Structure 1
Amino acid sequence: MGKHAPISYQPRLLGSQEAATYLGVSETTLRALEIPRRIMGGRKLFDRLDLDRYASELPYEGDKANADEVDLCDQHFGLKR
């Protein structure tokens, strides 16, 4: 048996690789985002709740009120419109 028992749910605190996968971005992109990290035993971990909050605050494509924000978001991720 391994060091940890397998779990069937997403842990709340995630390393950078897991957090990037959770958001669907690269680790390089994740590090460029202004998402706070928590410190536990010297490890810097992303809180899944902070990742959810960040994703929920992103503007929707086609929302005219947020068109400038969408353009900035696209530019940040290297996308052209």
Structure 2
Amino acid sequence: MPAVPMFTPRLMKAHAAAHYLGVSPSKLRTLDLPCKRDGGNVLYDRLDLDAYADALPYEGQAQDGRDTVCDSIFGVKG
């Protein structure tokens, strides 16, 4: 049984980075995230993955953070 690290590594291979974000490796390749190379390894920085996830809008929130049309119709304030 492989050892499971007790911490999240700073740099991750594509499969681990995809798992970290909750997407497939093929989806990860389409996200245009910055990556680093170490020899033949393509590595993703956890800080870049966190920044990508933090920039995603919450469900029902417009991309720019403003209220959506539905919010204004139902009187919801963001």
**What is the TM-score of this pair, normalised by structure 1?**
0.68
DSSP 3-state at the match of 1:66? coil
1:11 matched to 2:13? The reply is: no
Paired residue total: 63
Structure 1 consecutive aligned stretches of length 4 or more whose deviation exceeds 2 Å = none
Matching residue's letter, 1:31 = R
Question: Where does residue 45 of structure 2 map in the other structure?
Answer: 47
- The 3 A distance-change label for structure 1 pair 7 and 46 is same
1:66 matched to 2:63? The reply is: yes
1:26 matched to 2:24? The reply is: yes
Structure with greater Cα Rg:
2
DSSP 3-state at the match of 1:14? strand
* Structure 2: gaps of 5 or more residues: 65-78
**What is the TM-score of this pair, normalised by structure 2?**
0.71
* Structure 1: gaps of 5 or more residues: 68-81
